[in-house]
Chains A and B, each alone.
Chain A
Amino acid sequence: MQVTLRHAGRSEVSFDCAADDTVLVAARRAGVTLHVACEQGGCGACRARVVQGTVHYPLPASSRWLDEGSGSEDYTLLCRAAPTSALIVETAHPWRLRESAPLSRILSG
């Protein structure tokens, strides 16, 4: 499943996400460091607005952040969301791309 991240003022980034992997796990594999804190679906650091596509939650995510109080299901938590279709999201916080330093080149094979 392809995941595309958008955030105001930067170029979008896309990567593949295996079935049942969370967006966070797939992003890390692709060298994209998301803004996260608890990584347990509770704190909302990784929240994003779903522009297109669908997700499911293998583990629970706090509903407080899923609807942002709006009652809609337009929001998702990337540390717990596994895409069930091609996914485009707009993240609340910017991400970082892993620097291609000699050590990280070795570590990433």
Chain B
Amino acid sequence: MESIQDTSSRKSLCFATLVVMLSTLCSPAIASRSIIDSAGRTVEIPDTINTVFAAGPPASVLVYVVRPETLAGWPRALRKNEIPYIAADYQSLPETGRLTGRGGEANLETVLSIKPDLIIDFGSIRDTYIDLANRVQAQTGIPYVLIDGRFDQTPAALRLTGDILGASERGEALARAAEKLFSRVDAITAAVAEGDRPRVYLARGPDGLETGSKGSINTEIIERAGGRNVIDAGDGRHGGLVEISMENMIAVDPDYIVTWDQNFFADARQNPLWAGISAMQEDQFYLSPTAPFGWIDRPPSLNRIIGLQWMSRLLYPEQWDTELSEEAAQFYQDWYHVELDEEQLQVLLSWAEGQPPE
């Protein structure tokens, strides 16, 4: 008898817990407000946000920068050389997987078990992603916000995210910093006619022959920094990732080549085929640091703010009177919440000069 009672009481306890959980999920009692995301969707979100699930790497950088204590985990576990450049509290956040993009491997049950107050995706706001957001939101009951990830939209993204996460002041301050940098590089660029701007190639992939054509999210930093992407479909379409041949490389003959691939960087400097390219002959072949995130891409997120400065310095060195070391230290402190010691800073600076850490 006793055991039956016991079971039934346990059952009712379970049931009660379930009711409470469900009511927490869809209870109107919790204070909430509606916001309009970058895709124009009206999303009902709780007033206080404690946990955010980042749908992909760009979103994780955005959330980490704006309000790291809400970040539920990293879509991809941090690599060894990236860890020191993340604030101590967030170095060991769990790996959560991506919710969007090609992999889409994050399990919705995993998302639910994390019980985030909000899902944020930062990047494309095309219909596919809007549809995905609506579906996931309907399925899980968790509000899902889309934020435009185009580089030019960075200040708006920072303000919107600040507002959503209850960090309006920080969002505003960062947005102002981004605007200041944008107008600084734009002022430099404005003085140079389109046709006179340096011709830049962003090399991706192990052989450096993968790139983004003009307008792709991966290479938009080139135009922003006042360069011209040598790979241009020319029809005004937003480009994507493409593969070119070595002959094409010689034909387009860029003045500058930037990459973050260390293998390619080491190989190309010894490769006679690359030796004839103007960028090589002018010694304008550069490697970008990737810790904790890539400076120019990988992922295409707020990490490009420091990359923009770095690239503008490469293209227009005489226009910059501040030291990269100071600017980088300041950026890592203001945006990534880490105070770099002398050694860490030196690693980054040597990296940016073509000597990556082992």
Say if A and B assemble together.
no
Q: Which residues of A contact B (CB under 8 A)?
A: none
Q: Which residues of B contact A (CB under 8 A)?
A: none
